[in-house]
Structure 1
Amino acid sequence: MNASRHRSMLLAVTGTALALSLTACQDGSGTKSSSAAAPSAPAASSPAATGTSDVTDATGSEASAGSTGASTGSSGATGKQAAASTPVCTAADVRVTAARQDGPPYTRIVLTAKNTTRHSCRLTGFPHIQFVESHKQDVAAVAKSKPAAPVVLTAGAPAYALVKLSNGGTDENNEPVSAFAVMLEDDSTVITVTAPGGEGIAVDPAKALTGYWTPELRNGADDF
C-alpha cells in the first residue's frame, strides 16, 4: 500500500515536471517568435526619420535663403538691364542751360540737362563742349566724376555736369564767350547754350574741364 502510494506520488511529480518542461518550451518558443518579429517594427526607425526631417528642413531653409539671394541678385541685374534698355537721351529730349557755380572770378559753371519729354531717357557720358571757334577740340572730361550707375531721367528730371572754365589767374589766355556748343553722347546735334551773365564768361580753352552727367553734384567727385 505504501509502495503503491509512493509510486503514484512519483508518477504525479514526474507528470508535473514534464508538464512544466513542456510549458517552458512553449513559452521559450513564443519568446523567440516575438523577438524575431521585433526588427520589422517601425518604432526603432522613428527617431532617425525625425532627424532626417530636421536636416531636410535645415537644408530647405538654406536653399530658400540661397534662392532669395539669387533673386535679389537677379533683381539688381534686372534693374540694370531695365536702365540699359531705356532709350538714350537725344538733343530733342532735353533742354540744356548754364549757371555760374561760384563767385568772382567765376571759374566754373554748372550745366543742367532737363528731360522735357513725357518718357524716361538715359543720359550717357559727359557733355561734349566747344567754347570758342578757335579751339575745335572738345573739353576734356574728368574721369573721377563718372557716376557708378546709369543716369536715367524720368519726365521732367534734371542731370548736372560741372564745367571748369579757367584757373582764375590774370595771366591766362582767357577769351570772352557769350554762347557755346554742347553735344550729347552719340548725338551729333549741336545744342547752343547761352552763357550765364549779361557779359558772358571768360574761358581759357587750355584749362577747361568738364565732369560727367550725374543726378546730383557730389563733393569730391565733382571738385576739380
Structure 2
Amino acid sequence: MNASRRTALLSVAASAALTLSLTACQGGEGTKAEGTAAAQTATSPASAPASGTASGTGGSKGAAVGTAHKSDSTGSGSAAAGGSTAAQGTGGSSATTPVCAAKDVKVSAERQDGPPYTHIVLTARNTSGSRCRMAGFPHIQFLESHKQDVPSVAKSKPAAPTVLNPGDPAYALVKLSDGGVDEDNEVVTAFQLVLEGDSTVIAVDSSTGGGLAVDPARTLTGYWTGELRNGADDF
C-alpha cells in the first residue's frame, strides 16, 4: 500500500471516529435533558398535594379561628351572665348597705315587764331618707364611775344583718340587774351609747318612772335585731 492511500484511509477512519464520538455525546446530552425534564414533570404533580396541604392547613386555621371565636363568644356570654348575676346579687345584698350612723337614727329606751324592772328595750328608728344597716350591738355606758361598755350576748346576734328602710325600727334588749333587793344598784336617769362604726355619743333619757336601777356587775346587751326573739334575746 502506498503512502498516499494509507494516509487517505487513516483520514477516513479518524473522521468516522469523530462522527461516532459526536453522536454519542449528543445522545448523552439528550438523555440528560430528558431526565431533567422528567424530573421536572415528576416534581410538578407533587406540587399539587403541597397546594392541597396548604389549603387544608388554611381550612384548619379557619376552623381554629372559628372555634376560638365561638369559645370567646361563649366566654363573653358566660362573663356577661355572671356579671349580671353578680350585679343582681350585689343589688340584693345587705353588705353594700351603709352602716347606720348616729345622725340616721333616733334612740329611745323603755322598761320591759316588771316590777322589778330588770330589762329595758332600746329602739333605734331610722329617721333618715335612705336605707342603712344596724351593725353589731349598742356600746353602752350607764355610769360615769364605770367606763367599760356593757358586755354583749353572742347568742342574740342575728343570722343576717339588720337593714332598716326609712322609718323602720331596730331593737336591742338590755339587762340592768338581777332584780335582787340586796344588789348594789345605782339609779340612772340618763346614759350614753355609741353605734358600731360611729364614735358619735348618743344620749338616752331614762328618767321616766324615777330612773333605772342598774347593777354594773350584771348588765348585758343584745345585738340590734329587726324584732325581739324569744330564747335568743332571753338573758
| Same fold flag (TM > 0.5) | yes
Distance, in Å, in 1 between the alignment partners of 2:91 and 2:162 is: 11
Whose helix proportion is higher, 1 or 2? 2
- Is 1:149 the counterpart of 2:149? The answer is no
Secondary structure in structure 1 of the residue aligned to 2:89: helix
In 2, the alpha carbon distance for the partners of 1:196 and 1:164 equals: 17
- The answer on whether the counterparts of 1:128 and 1:184 sit within 8 Å (CA) in structure 2 is yes
- Find the counterpart in structure 1 of residue 198 from structure 2: 187
8 Å CA contact 1:118, 1:155 repeated in 2: yes
Cα distance, 1:82–1:203 mapped onto 2, change above 3 Å? same
C-alpha distance in structure 1 between counterparts of 2:130 and 2:108, whole Å: 20
Return the match for 2:210 from 177, 199, 202.
199
Alignment of 1:106-185 (within 5 A): 106-185=117-196
Provide the C-alpha distance between the structure 2 equivalents of 1:130 and 1:164, rounded to a whole number of angstroms.
13
1:99 touches 1:196 (CA, 8 Å); kept in 2? Answer: no
Asked whether the 8 Å contact 1:120–1:154 carries over to 2, the reply is yes
Maintained 8 Å contact 2:90/2:96: no
Note the C-alpha offset of 1:82: 2.7
| TM-score when normalising by structure 1 | 0.65
CA–CA distance in structure 2, aligned partners of residues 104 and 196 of structure 1: 16
Residues of 1 paired with 2:91 and 2:185: CA distance?
Answer: 42
Whether 1:84 and 2:89 are equivalent positions in the alignment is no
Call closer, same or farther: CA 1:80–1:104 in 2, change over 3 Å: farther
One-letter identity of the residue aligned with 1:159: A
Query: Which ranges in structure 1 are unaligned for 5 or more consecutive residues?
Result: 1-70
Shift of 1:79: 5.8
Query: Which structure has the larger Rg?
Result: 2
Q: Which residue of 2 aligns with 1:11?
A: none
Runs of 4+ off more than 4 Å: none
> Can you list the C-alpha shifts for 1:15-53, whole angstroms capped at 9, x where unaligned?
xxxxxxxxxxxxxxxxxxxxxxxxxxxxxxxxxxxxxxx
Identity among equivalent pairs (%) = 67
**Is the contact made by 2:188 and 2:213 (CA closer than 8 Å) also made in structure 1?**
yes
CA distance in 2, matches of 1:217, 1:110: 9
Query: How many Å separate the matches in 2 of 1:197 and 1:84?
Result: 37
Is contact 2:142-2:190 (8 Å) kept?
Answer: yes
Find the counterpart in structure 1 of residue 52 from structure 2: none
CA distance in 2 between partners of 1:80 and 1:176 (Å): 47
| Displacement of 1:196 | 5.4
CA distance in 2, matches of 1:177, 1:95: 20
Match of 1:98 in 2: 109
* Structure 2 unmatched ranges of 5 or more: 1-81
The one-character-per-residue Cα deviations of 1:35-93 (angstroms, maximum 9, x if unpaired) are xxxxxxxxxxxxxxxxxxxxxxxxxxxxxxxxxxxx9xx68x81686311111100000
Q: In the alignment, is the contact (CA less than 8 A) between 1:109 and 1:163 conserved in 2? A: yes
What is the number of equivalent residue pairs in this alignment? Answer: 154
CA deviation map 1:168-201 (0-9, x unaligned):
0011110000000010001111000011523001
- Counterpart CA distance in 2 for 1:184 and 1:218 is 21
**Distance in 1 (alpha carbons) for counterparts of 2:90 and 2:121:** 29
CA distance in 1 between counterparts of 2:184 and 2:201 reads: 25
Opposite residue 171 of structure 1, the aligned amino acid is: D
